[in-house]
């Protein structure tokens, strides 16, 4: 799993301040393997860290001019 704040739709919102990436790393791209992703999910589930709030932005379709 690649977590990159630059492509998150929630960047610079209130959700950003309550995201595990901001909590642990103060932003920046992060690569997590499945075990790390599961571990962060488990920690968030019991309230030890904020949950991941990443929502990838959707690319807007380009409109052809003609």
Say if 54 falls within a structural domain: no
Q: What is the DSSP string of 16-50?
A: HHTSHHHHHHSSS-EE--HHHHHHHHHHHHTTSSP
34-62 residue pLDDT tens: 888 898 889 889 988 777 777 667 776 56
d(CA 53, CA 34): 17
According to the model, what pLDDT value does residue 50 have?
Answer: 76
d(CA 61, CA 2): 23
According to the model, what pLDDT value does residue 43 have?
Answer: 84
> Residue 12 belongs to what domain range?
2-45
Say if 40 falls within a structural domain: yes
Q: Helix, strand, or coil here: 8?
A: strand
Say if 64 falls within a structural domain: no
| Mean pLDDT (the chain, rounded) | 75
Say if 53 falls within a structural domain: no
pLDDT at 27 over 60: no
Query: In the chain, how many domains are there?
Result: 1
Say if 52 falls within a structural domain: no
Please state the pTM of the whole predicted model: 0.49
- Between 42 and 7, the more confident residue is 42
């Amino acid at each position: 799993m690649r977590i990159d704040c630059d492509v998150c739709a929630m960047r610079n919102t209130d959700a950003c301040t309550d995201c595990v990436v901001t909590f642990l790393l103060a932003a920046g791209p992060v690569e997590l393997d499945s075990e790390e992703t599961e571990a962060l999910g488990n920690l968030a589930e019991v309230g030890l860290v904020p949950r991941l709030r990443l929502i990838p932005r959707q690319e807007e379709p380009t409109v052809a001019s003609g």
